[in-house]
Structure 1
Amino acid sequence: MTRKLRNIGIIAHVDAGKTTLTERILFNTGRIHRVGDVHDGNTETDHHALEKKHGITISSAAVSCEWQGIEITIIDTPGHVDFTIEVERSLRVLDGAVAAFSAVAGVEPQSETVWRQADRFHVPRIAFINKMDQMGADFGRTVAMIGERLGARPLVLQLPLGAEGAFQGVVDLVAMQALVWDGPVPVVSAVPEAMLDEAVMARARLVEALAEDDEAVLEAWAGGGEVEAALLRAAIRRGCVAGRFTPVLCGSAYRNAGVQPLLDAICAYAPAPEDRPAVEGTDPGSGASQTRQPSADAPFSALVSKVVASRYGALAIVRVYSGRIAPGDAVCLSDTGRSERVGRALRVQAGSETEVAEAVAGDVVALVGLKSARAGMTLSDPRHPIVLSGFVVPDPVISVAIEPKARGDQDRFRRALDTLARSDPSLRVSTEAETGRTVVAGMGELHLQICVETLKEDFGVEAVIGAPQVAYRAVASRRAEVDHTLRKQNGGTGLFARVKLAVAPRAGDEAGLLFRDATVGGAVPKDFVPSVERGIAAAMTDGGPYGWPVLGLEATLLDGAFHAKDSSGPAFEMAAREAFRIAFADSEPVLLEPLMRVTVTVPADYLGAVIGDLQRRRGLVAETVAGAAAHEVVAMVPLGELFGYVGALRSMSQGRGSFHMVFERYAPLPKALWDRAG
């Protein structure tokens, strides 16, 4: 396998210029011949009608291009927090990422979120400080924020040549030359005299930082001579691939300045698939650990990143980690054990596809014909099954009741929602048992708005929704016990099960069920104990006050009894459900509400009004940070108090304020407000 492939994601806060940067990359590599604009709705990656309408990236889009003989697959990810699942699953299948930052705003809240996601998957990054031509651009401040806010180790490879309206290009510290853009191709020249001292000092810091990290550079540096550019590039690559530091470049994607050196850096420093560690997984039969080397000769394994609808039917977008796959091959859906046959393999180019004869380790392709595939599933060779770790799907924080406008659309409406939920795991669809209403839950108001608009745009189904409702959770506040017996006899074999159960809060407010079996002497046969656990887990889904899910619980089976003829797994499961409801009601349950970390950026003139309004919304202001052009207010605010905040902030700040929010944690809902959850 050759080192001729790079799988790269573009990650950033909304409006940092990800899509514009992707568009310029495609233009410079000859993939497109006319540059689109986000505001005009004609970019290559924001191809969906709703992305053009809203001017934002909603769904991650993959495109391919070539630079210096290296094929680059780029995934342009959304910057809005409501679509964070798109970033999560993209980073899971990528080898590297370009993190874009606005030189004006610096490290913004969603930048921190996506950086942490990349940390979790150990994805090496290159930083690109964008918008150097805009008013208020500050390269040094942004580099400092990358180190302070993200805990990263920025390695500056370029200095900006001018700033704001005077921005002309960059000084390449590795080659010690200036690159000036007065057209599509930069003019290479000597470092301007006025910047020479600054550049010499910056290069010395670069060499010193690399000498601390790399023995080859240390040896050359200790010798006292000039350290060659080739030696520095090799060291930068080794450190970047290992994740020890983050190379930093700069430019203006909109003016196409700095994009070509960024492409050079992707080819020179970003990891190829074979630079990444062997992918780890488990044997679905034995549970034993397994690994797959990133080689086309290893047994086939791949992870499904997402499933999308297309003219071919459902497309499973997969990252091939090992082996090879071709149309007609059988694959095992390792999570379920089912085998299905691949109909077609396609190379995805944003909104279009091209058939390929084969995909090998390192490729990101779409497979047709896998009817049971879901996002996060593993595909593998049926003779060598493996289950790879997937990605974290965040719990929804907001829900609405939804129904089709026309009664005759009910079947199409349900099928369309099922398709959307299959494509987007963070969108949950359920039916209320009491009312029969369909409820969709998601990550925010925009997420649900896009869901409704997609139903109309893609499926021709108009839907109406109710008022948004917060997704509350419940926890126990104290230990409670119950001794419950299920006894039903209607002739013939009956139902009998006795369970003595204790429920208590989980230590450290952890989520999920922690179940313990403390029975002795076979009071509950071992075959029935898993049924008790299943019954409790099922009851937790709607066992809190007003039917809200229980967030976390410790449950202990203390004792029980069984009947030789009338006891069964279903009987113990039913008894456990009933026992849980009695015990949980006696545990003095507490309702929890989602608490959001809200960051408001607003001019100083409106700071007092914004802080006062946040406090009226039960918000707790954590900090205020003064910036050159605006102040930043960080506060913890209950989600239920933030509906309609966009309009309120616009009114308070005469349209000059903006805000971003992300889920922080659950917090107790005051008892006086419990009627909101009913």
Structure 2
Amino acid sequence: MKHVVIGTLAHVDAGKTTLSESMLYLSGSIRKLGRVDHGDAFLDYDKQERSRGITIFSKQAICQWKDIEFTLLDTPGHVDFSSEMERTLQILDYAILIINGVDGVQTHTETIWKLLEHYQIPVFIFINKMDTAYLTKEVLLTELRKRLDERCIDFTAPSDEMMEQAAMCDDELLEDYMEHTIINKSLLLAKIHERKVFPCYFGSALKRQGIETFLDGLSEFIVMHDYPEEFGAKVYKITRDENGNKLAHMKITGGSLKVKAKLIESEKVDQIRKYSGSKFTVVNEAIAGEVCAVKGLQNVYAGEGLGFEKKSEKPLLSSYMNYRMQLPEGCDAFTMLRNLKQLGEEDPQLHITYNERLKEIRVQMMGEIQTEILKNIISNRFNVDVSFDHGAISYRETILEPVEGVGHYEPLRHYAEVHLLLEPGDEGSGIQIASACPEDELDRHWQRLILSHLEEKEHLGVLTGSPITDMKITLLSGRAHQKHTEGGDFREATYRAVRQGLKSAKSIVLEPYFKFKLEVPTEYLSRAVFDVEQMNGSFVIDDTVNEMTVLSGSAPVAKMQNYQSDLVAYTKGKGKLACVMEGYKPCQNQDVIIAEAGYDSETDIDNPTGSIFCSHGAGYFVPWHEVKKQMHVTTSYSKTEKRQQSAPTKEMKKLNDEDLDAIFIKTYGPGKRRLENNSKKAKEESVQGLLASVKRRPLCYLIDGYNIIHSWPELKELAADNLDAARSRLMQLMGDFQGYKQCLLILVFDAYKVSEGVGQMFKDHSIFVVYTDQAQTADMYIERATHKLSSDYRVVVATSDAMEQLIVSGQGAHRMSSRELLLEVEGLRKRRQQEFEESQRKGYNQPLEKIRDLYNDELKKSD
């Protein structure tokens, strides 16, 4: 059986779900034909979908026609849920674009077409509602060719006519047609798959007219994809079933997936489901080309690639409105943040964040309907009635000229320096990451770490604190120290390099723009033109038919978002306005927006602009404008060469480890690094880059035990055979780590994975070990402990749980990923081994001799 994944896409009310319903009914997949307006459609089974009569969530159904099994994915058509639609595109083999024959091509239809072009998905077009359309096939085809693509061909026309039209779409097709007066079918199939030809069909989904012809065309002109034997899969969606189980919806793109297979961090596939509507069948294996939902994977995310697949690219469509969530009295913000983690997994485009300065939870959404839907979901799932404010425009920032950004991080016994080239990118290009740093200047694993730090975070601009975009960031150079560099050092240096570069560059604010289509009675044309010009928009007059004039153009969202009510008022209900998000462009009133934002980049302690250097055993803060004077590596790059064609040139002042040792000796003094650990100066470091040298509070590490076990290769391997052994080994490692750090260290384990000892805490040598209560997770315990300890300790939370990191950072804790902790522990091991080998070379063969000599040295110093 051949498997094809095909999606239905359309502007709202084009009849997309009705077409899916008819295809399922005629193929025998469903026995009863439902209707959207009756609230009984097979694929719109969610309560909110049935009450509103729109598709909100993408759904899956399976139908068979002739020798092909179609996995049909029905996507939302409303603009507010475009992100749900775009996530589905990345797993489609083909797409069905439905056009409303009454209204023709809409503005949102053009947006969908651009997305299909971006993801290079071959398209079949179905022009629906031909039973009520007053426009002829010829008129509709002309509009399709004008507004979408001139290669839209009527495949319901007689064969000779269809072949003749198709031949004009491609040189190979034309050559074949001229030679044989007919087009070879395999060549035609290939050209459809290559998006050189777009077959068009006409009919009525509601009355099932032309549906069988359309299904025959799909089965005849679709090319089967060849999949590799190696396993691969794309996760495109995260949901939860009625029991709260997390489901990862994915397409198998190579090999097969079987139950009990290990995929991520030793997690096993508990169950494989094949959905059709709200029902599913449980299978033991899913093969390449199939779409399934997998239960048992807790750490996957939408857009993740499994096996040989890479993670999905960043979506093109994004929310342009930022809403402040208003919680009911008595509702804890951090508890709500933890609950919202589920919704953030299901729709990453919500961008749920917590503003520590304003003590606010903020969510990005497309519009009012999505806002209402989200309120209902939160109420039903978490039993909390929240509300949202009217929303604010979500701005972006970019730069106008290339600039080099430098970040340096060198508190006591740490070292990292990063040099980045920041360049303005094309409009809508987002953030592009690259490296032009030779490996003989910085090891590959450090380069990879820097690039991952650039990708892992939404970096903020320095004018309004808005995310940066349309920028290329290239790693020019960097420097590590063999003994003193740890993973977290490069994270700090990288973040600071971005911010230092932004402070050095000429930045501008970007605002979102609508692409609009405005239809007004001709008598009100002058008023419409005046309004658009007042909005600082641009336009062209498309057409004038039956005393109605159509204008199309673009205008700032901030000016046009409330224009609909004015339009209806002055045209007495005859005017029509359709808007879709076009992208971000330079802000028209930048000074006003900056003043309203009230953002001060120098007081943003989470995003420092300066760097940390070290002198006399203590770190000190260097402002961004003085960093380049003290950096240890110098680079230069050519501004005359074209940035797209060549990498920047570099002239390096190379420092070997002996040179860096000299720096440390000059800073700390010869042979005093370890002894100074007990001195007053060694306990002084810079706090978030704001104070030069202050007395620090004692250090406390809170470690998420199972998160670490499932992240470290050594412990994962142990846990696969014996979880108790993995726990014991982690306790041993943390005991050694605590002895080095001289800190309070609390290791937390979830209760549900231990058979006894639930809800207890005990001391294991120098560390504290906690097994939580049965009703409490490690995350919950760590959040509570962070809140209680943060006033007396500098709390560091080690976990790779992104939402947990967000919550604890809101309480003032420092975040550390499991990988960064591993790098620090491994660095400690290497240093201890090097110290031992050095002592052996110096003749310290007996422990008592070493103690004696160290004691004598101390006596000499006291004299």
**TM-score of the pair, normalised by structure 1:** 0.76
Q: Supply the AA of the counterpart residue of 1:441.
A: Q
User: Hey, what does 2:503 align to over in structure 1?
Assistant: 585
Residue pairs, 1:170-249, within 5 angstroms = 173-174=158-159, 202=161, 205-206=164-165, 213=173, 221=181, 236-249=188-201
Structure 2: state its 5+ residue gaps. Answer: 599-863
- Asked whether the equivalents of residues 503 and 553 of structure 1 are also in contact (C-alpha less than 8 Å), the reply is no
Aligned partners of 2:339 and 2:252: how far apart in 1?
29
Does 2:347 match 1:347?
no
Give the C-alpha shift of residue 348 in structure 1: 1.1
Equivalent position to 1:358, from 268, 285, 291: 285
Equivalent position to 1:310, from 241, 245, 248: 241
Q: Per the alignment, in what secondary structure is the counterpart of residue 548 of structure 1? A: coil
- Asked whether the equivalents of residues 595 and 639 of structure 1 are also in contact (C-alpha less than 8 Å), the reply is yes
- Asked whether the equivalents of residues 166 and 197 of structure 2 are also in contact (C-alpha less than 8 Å), the reply is no
How big is each residue's C-alpha offset from its partner over 1:6-57, in whole Å with a ceiling of 9 and x where there is no partner?
Answer: 3221122222211121122222223333333323332122222222233222
User: Hey, what does 2:390 align to over in structure 1?
Assistant: 467
Q: Per the alignment, in what secondary structure is the counterpart of residue 315 of structure 1? A: strand
Aligned partners of 1:208 and 1:573: how far apart in 2?
56
Aligned partners of 1:379 and 1:204: how far apart in 2?
42
- Asked whether the equivalents of residues 125 and 247 of structure 1 are also in contact (C-alpha less than 8 Å), the reply is yes
Does 2:405 match 1:512?
no
How big is each residue's C-alpha offset from its partner over 1:488-535, in whole Å with a ceiling of 9 and x where there is no partner?
Answer: 5xxxx4667777x6876425465426677789997x999877777778
Give the C-alpha shift of residue 145 in structure 1: 2.7
Does 2:551 match 1:633?
yes
User: Hey, what does 1:423 align to over in structure 2?
Assistant: 346
Does 2:392 match 1:392?
no
User: Hey, what does 1:332 align to over in structure 2?
Assistant: 263
Q: Supply the AA of the counterpart residue of 1:512.
A: I
- Asked whether the equivalents of residues 513 and 537 of structure 1 are also in contact (C-alpha less than 8 Å), the reply is no
Aligned partners of 1:391 and 1:672: how far apart in 2?
33
Q: Per the alignment, in what secondary structure is the counterpart of residue 76 of structure 2? A: coil
Structure 1: state its 5+ residue gaps. Answer: 160-172, 175-200, 222-226, 279-291, 381-385
User: Hey, what does 1:270 align to over in structure 2?
Assistant: 222
- Asked whether the equivalents of residues 106 and 142 of structure 1 are also in contact (C-alpha less than 8 Å), the reply is yes
Aligned partners of 2:233 and 2:146: how far apart in 1?
36
User: Hey, what does 2:324 align to over in structure 1?
Assistant: 401
Q: Which structure has more strand as a fraction of its residues?
A: 1
Q: Measured at CA, do residues 461 and 644 of structure 1 come closer, stay the same or move farther in structure 2, by a change above 3 Å?
A: farther
Aligned partners of 2:122 and 2:440: how far apart in 1?
54
Q: Which structure has more helix as a fraction of its residues?
A: 2
Aligned partners of 2:496 and 2:556: how far apart in 1?
32
Q: Per the alignment, in what secondary structure is the counterpart of residue 551 of structure 1? A: coil
User: Hey, what does 2:468 align to over in structure 1?
Assistant: 550
Q: Measured at CA, do residues 583 and 236 of structure 1 come closer, stay the same or move farther in structure 2, by a change above 3 Å?
A: closer
Aligned partners of 2:439 and 2:191: how far apart in 1?
56
User: Hey, what does 2:800 align to over in structure 1?
Assistant: none
User: Hey, what does 2:799 align to over in structure 1?
Assistant: none
Q: Per the alignment, in what secondary structure is the counterpart of residue 88 of structure 1? A: helix
- Asked whether the equivalents of residues 250 and 291 of structure 2 are also in contact (C-alpha less than 8 Å), the reply is yes
Q: Measured at CA, do residues 519 and 20 of structure 1 come closer, stay the same or move farther in structure 2, by a change above 3 Å?
A: closer
Give the C-alpha shift of residue 144 in structure 1: 2.0
Q: Supply the AA of the counterpart residue of 2:505.
A: S
Does 2:531 match 1:600?
no
Q: Measured at CA, do residues 267 and 61 of structure 1 come closer, stay the same or move farther in structure 2, by a change above 3 Å?
A: same
Aligned sequence identity (%): 24
Aligned partners of 2:120 and 2:495: how far apart in 1?
41
Q: Per the alignment, in what secondary structure is the counterpart of residue 533 of structure 2? A: helix
User: Hey, what does 2:625 align to over in structure 1?
Assistant: none
Q: Supply the AA of the counterpart residue of 2:246.
A: A
Give the C-alpha shift of residue 324 in structure 1: 2.2
User: Hey, what does 1:180 align to over in structure 2?
Assistant: none
Q: Per the alignment, in what secondary structure is the counterpart of residue 23 of structure 2? A: helix
Q: Measured at CA, do residues 92 and 478 of structure 1 come closer, stay the same or move farther in structure 2, by a change above 3 Å?
A: closer
Q: Per the alignment, in what secondary structure is the counterpart of residue 46 of structure 1? A: coil
Does 2:56 match 1:138?
no
Q: Measured at CA, do residues 374 and 482 of structure 1 come closer, stay the same or move farther in structure 2, by a change above 3 Å?
A: closer
- Asked whether the equivalents of residues 396 and 468 of structure 2 are also in contact (C-alpha less than 8 Å), the reply is yes
- Asked whether the equivalents of residues 396 and 442 of structure 1 are also in contact (C-alpha less than 8 Å), the reply is yes
* Range moving further from structure 2, 409-418 or 202-211: 202-211
Residue pairs, 1:67-146, within 5 angstroms = 67-146=65-144
How big is each residue's C-alpha offset from its partner over 1:220-258, in whole Å with a ceiling of 9 and x where there is no partner?
Answer: 53xxxxx7xxx8866654543443312211012222211
Q: Measured at CA, do residues 496 and 301 of structure 1 come closer, stay the same or move farther in structure 2, by a change above 3 Å?
A: closer
User: Hey, what does 2:373 align to over in structure 1?
Assistant: 450
Q: Supply the AA of the counterpart residue of 1:434.
A: R
- Asked whether the equivalents of residues 8 and 96 of structure 1 are also in contact (C-alpha less than 8 Å), the reply is yes
Q: Measured at CA, do residues 602 and 342 of structure 1 come closer, stay the same or move farther in structure 2, by a change above 3 Å?
A: farther
Aligned partners of 2:130 and 2:44: how far apart in 1?
24
- Asked whether the equivalents of residues 431 and 473 of structure 2 are also in contact (C-alpha less than 8 Å), the reply is no
How big is each residue's C-alpha offset from its partner over 1:315-365, in whole Å with a ceiling of 9 and x where there is no partner?
Answer: 11111122222322x1424xxxx3421111112122222222332121111
Equivalent position to 1:642, from 556, 560, 563: 560
User: Hey, what does 2:585 align to over in structure 1?
Assistant: 666
Aligned partners of 1:445 and 1:652: how far apart in 2?
24
**TM-score of the pair, normalised by structure 2:** 0.61
Q: Supply the AA of the counterpart residue of 1:548.
A: S
* Range moving further from structure 2, 234-243 or 525-534: 525-534
Give the C-alpha shift of residue 567 in structure 1: 6.9
Aligned partners of 1:65 and 1:629: how far apart in 2?
47
Q: Measured at CA, do residues 88 and 215 of structure 1 come closer, stay the same or move farther in structure 2, by a change above 3 Å?
A: same
User: Hey, what does 2:232 align to over in structure 1?
Assistant: 301
Aligned partners of 1:101 and 1:634: how far apart in 2?
20
Q: Per the alignment, in what secondary structure is the counterpart of residue 113 of structure 2? A: helix
Aligned partners of 2:83 and 2:165: how far apart in 1?
36
Q: Measured at CA, do residues 102 and 591 of structure 1 come closer, stay the same or move farther in structure 2, by a change above 3 Å?
A: same
User: Hey, what does 1:179 align to over in structure 2?
Assistant: none
Q: Measured at CA, do residues 246 and 409 of structure 1 come closer, stay the same or move farther in structure 2, by a change above 3 Å?
A: same
Aligned partners of 1:559 and 1:378: how far apart in 2?
30
Give the C-alpha shift of residue 58 in structure 1: 1.7
Q: Supply the AA of the counterpart residue of 1:388.
A: K
Q: Supply the AA of the counterpart residue of 1:673.
A: V
Give the C-alpha shift of residue 402 in structure 1: 0.8
* Range moving further from structure 2, 571-580 or 402-411: 571-580
Does 2:538 match 1:620?
yes
* Range moving further from structure 2, 62-71 or 317-326: 62-71
Aligned partners of 1:552 and 1:208: how far apart in 2?
40
Q: Per the alignment, in what secondary structure is the counterpart of residue 323 of structure 2? A: strand
Aligned partners of 2:439 and 2:116: how far apart in 1?
47
Q: Supply the AA of the counterpart residue of 2:230.
A: P
Q: Measured at CA, do residues 454 and 641 of structure 1 come closer, stay the same or move farther in structure 2, by a change above 3 Å?
A: farther
User: Hey, what does 1:370 align to over in structure 2?
Assistant: 297
Give the C-alpha shift of residue 464 in structure 1: 1.4
- Asked whether the equivalents of residues 485 and 497 of structure 1 are also in contact (C-alpha less than 8 Å), the reply is yes
Equivalent position to 1:322, from 254, 276, 292: 254
User: Hey, what does 1:38 align to over in structure 2?
Assistant: 36
Q: Per the alignment, in what secondary structure is the counterpart of residue 39 of structure 1? A: coil
